[in-house]
Structure 1
């Protein structure tokens, strides 16, 4: 069989890149290759339509092995990640009961959010009762002014229980800069608090207490390279401040943890996490962290390679979650989860699909857990380390993302570092500008949100559901921010506001498709128009076709249509548009589906409304709501 296989392949001569390009050029029939097939990413670099082995030449990423410096392929030699669920611990007894319950349902990492005033020994005792801290990763977040006290209480509790500290893994979420980015405030003494935290947890070698919450950038709509570039500057600022304060680079680096978001750009997200580990390892290495014990992971110059390991938690994004057709959120978060799992993160949280409009319930939390468990138990994603390695495409993406992020990192450093950038508001301005650009892309369908700006569920109603406001405060004079903040307006927010406006109106607009002429064109344009107008929550009525425009208009009036959409071919619009418009005679809004060559002529006849692929869907629908008296 082996000999037969070898003979089979020897029958085919190798095909070079030049030959592929000749074939592609011929198939393009004169169209520009760059414009037609080369994709320019939001990150600013170009992606080719195909890659070959020669595209790996010169890339050092292929020289790496899992668990080895600079950790591009992972900080460990397996792909086991922890399944995390967050618990709001308003009541310690209730939170404890919930934790014990979900620990039996596949969770092996918990995060407790505790109010500052609740931090006490009694609270911790009740919260962690019957939870084996050696068997589960425990993560905590609380008010910045109470993090040191929380750390001290946890150390005391673990000591009281006689736990083996080498088996205790977890984190305390202290992030001074995230408070500035999300709340617009500086609170406490950054360096002193960080030093006190490290001192308080020195007996817990695997507890990370300084956090880089780059997740906030992701949830504000950042591009992938921005999230990574700023995260590196963020972490470097902490490490630099700690070293200047007398903490060794080794101790400081081992206490820093990164929380990243995951967007829906599947392959770029895989590349992001691979690039992140590599870049952070090189940043830490530049501090020459000294190894303090005998360890097989020590470099020849006694440099501690363990300190260079990036500890990564990932969480699916909220920026692209939607209120309408909310179950589509499951599709988004599933692909995001797959990206992070394949990329080798240490732990992962899947955002419940209903978070946009309510506190997640038992059902949505269960589904979120199972999204990860399916990848582990049924798809075996935890069995293969860095399966993307060697992919011509992903290796090139990794290099490109790394370069873009590194350029941003250097820019921030040249301008005084991350703290100076946040204080000046340049980070916030950059991310908010990106968020604004993405909102525009969504409004014009250059970025698709299934169920929101494309293929909406026509018959769905929000009912009592209303979007949750995630911004730090309402705009106005009452804002107490001392520095600019990130804008967490979700990509779908403006479409949702428009659709809620329509739903609240006394009358739901009815759009009637006047289909006539060329069969394929009228069907295609009717479907396009239904989807277009359905994004505002209008009722749409499609039709098989009419013999004359008069017949179609009469049917639309019988249906009591508020909008009549003429759906036909461009050539037939020249003949049918004006008669149809006159037959409607202002009894309904008249729209043409398409942008025919005779558009200027039709406009001269008084026809104002055209919907087509180049139209801004959101702005157009806002205008239609205004014309229909919906406010």
Structure 2
């Protein structure tokens, strides 16, 4: 054994922030620190490249323990969460059979989506037959006009089997504001309040059923960024409490009935921080309604109950297995962030009805986090991280600012009716789509590093988007949220290529400087493969003439010249002269001689600043003319 113990403090003396900054500035060799290393988020604040103890010294939240008000570290002292799977009920017996099966495969929470015309005592009895309701969380969604009826049916069924109401946990997702956002139906405050009261009263005998939903997931799937989702969700929940309070429902009763359904995206650390900030802010909002209550009651009521679901915004049809990687990091964010339940969507759900295999994978993604990675054994492991604590604080500040803005507009319902919520999210979605089209936001396998040989149109088998609850699908008078995925426009390019009579061939004319030609050929191959073009790469040619003849022999439609900036001055005009009447001619890069080359007739250049989507759309147009 070693006689001397390792003394880290002695061997590695403390380094001040100033010393770190001096070293970083020196390594930048004159480059601007802010431009090179400060990251401006979509959420409205900047992220630095490193954080230190002093960055969180004044944050009170760092002194809290799990289960302590205002619950930034979780509403409970454990990190147990429910593994949830959704079932769309078309036949109650088949849905029951599936539910019993997945309960034996690790699921602890089920979400039933029910058509309103099917609701009856017999239907519920068949659907829940053999399911031990005291041992599993049961969640239901149906038309908002039937939520109270559904709760009455559930209570009667549970009573008939002598269940203890205190052991029954679940939810009914009554959320008329979500319907307004998705369908544009212009519901009045009075109508919403009446239905909400009826729903809460119908749940009187089910004390642990949360029956008012705040479906912020709809915002995430429409392209909202994190602080939009959180700020609007807080205003959304506050709207329900305020309306019910005015109608005579005790705010404590209202708050205990609300369940938040958040989306979770792939911005790993930001999503962890989002859930921490959400609990903090909601606790502060609810506490204000209960100032006359004793402290213990205030704190118990102000716990936010969170269900999370992986987003569809970043899911793709091409290279769909990458969706598993996306949902896995999302599941990690949600579980580390301390959600109460989680649905991981099957990787193929955006282009077909999920099958047994994809549903099994989705379940097992959570089971792996619990059974092999032990994510449920440590509560809020991110606590104390300088970075995540700072993110939590910044997200909370930005979301709170948005919450206050909404309140100044008259509340969330007024903002929805005016269309400001929909407008703001559409602007964010458009901005994100623009970032995806230029690769500032990467969708692996779609706008970056696509599978060159994949075809996917034959596997797409989705019905048009329709409401699943059986209510009217007609859009109303209000603006609706956009229905969008980040990869759709790139997928449209590839589908067009698949349907074309001839698949375009992109030929890499590699010549000159070895390192540059290889790098630019790889860049260009990935670029054109995003549209599904056939890629013909080459090791290199001795002359331009040799390369052009090889392209002609290969039946190419596009020639991409891949060389160094210096060599383009002579090689590009020579290649263009030989190729211009036979092929579309493209230069890979942005050489200093670009203006001179354009003056000689060369029109097309691709480089890291190119908007990949619009450039490929233009090539499609040129090839089809």
The two structures share one fold, judged by TM-score above 0.5: yes
Q: Secondary structure at the match of 1:209?
A: strand
Counterpart-to-counterpart distance in 2, 1:254 and 1:224: 25
The reply to whether residue 342 of structure 1 matches residue 310 of structure 2 is no
Q: TM-score, normalised by structure 1?
A: 0.96
How do residues 72-471 of structure 1 correspond to structure 2 at under 5 angstroms? 72-186=72-186, 189-288=191-290, 299=295, 303-466=297-460, 468=462
Counterpart-to-counterpart distance in 2, 1:482 and 1:63: 49
Q: Deviations over 1:294-338 (max 9, x none)?
A: xxxx62xx6431110000000000000001111111111110000
Question: What 5-or-longer segments of structure 1 have no aligned partner?
Answer: 292-297
- Which 10-residue stretch deviates more, 86-95 or 282-291? 282-291
1:327/1:570 Cα in 2 relative to 1: closer, same or farther (>3 Å)?
A: same
Displacement of 1:61 in angstroms is: 1.5
Tell me if structure 1 keeps the 8 A contact 2:186–2:476.
no
Displacement of 1:8 in angstroms is: 4.6
Counterpart-to-counterpart distance in 2, 1:566 and 1:544: 13
Q: TM-score, normalised by structure 2?
A: 0.97
Displacement of 1:6 in angstroms is: 6.2
Q: Deviations over 1:428-461 (max 9, x none)?
A: 0000110011111100111000010000001000
Counterpart-to-counterpart distance in 2, 1:161 and 1:110: 20
Counterpart-to-counterpart distance in 1, 2:343 and 2:33: 41
How do residues 61-76 of structure 1 correspond to structure 2 at under 5 angstroms? 61-76=61-76
Q: Deviations over 1:5-29 (max 9, x none)?
A: 4645224331100000110010011
Counterpart-to-counterpart distance in 1, 2:309 and 2:475: 29
Displacement of 1:268 in angstroms is: 0.2
Number of aligned residues? 618
Counterpart-to-counterpart distance in 2, 1:364 and 1:82: 19
Displacement of 1:274 in angstroms is: 0.1
Tell me if structure 1 keeps the 8 A contact 2:184–2:479.
yes
Counterpart-to-counterpart distance in 1, 2:216 and 2:28: 42
Counterpart-to-counterpart distance in 2, 1:179 and 1:8: 58
Match of 1:612 among 599, 602, 607: 607
Counterpart-to-counterpart distance in 2, 1:247 and 1:268: 36
Give the aligned CA root-mean-square deviation in angstroms.
1.6
Match of 2:40 in 1: 40
Counterpart-to-counterpart distance in 2, 1:47 and 1:539: 40
Q: Secondary structure at the match of 2:614?
A: helix
Q: Secondary structure at the match of 1:464?
A: helix
Displacement of 1:359 in angstroms is: 1.0
Displacement of 1:249 in angstroms is: 1.3
Counterpart-to-counterpart distance in 2, 1:28 and 1:137: 54
Counterpart-to-counterpart distance in 1, 2:34 and 2:424: 28
Q: Deviations over 1:560-582 (max 9, x none)?
A: 11111100000000010011111
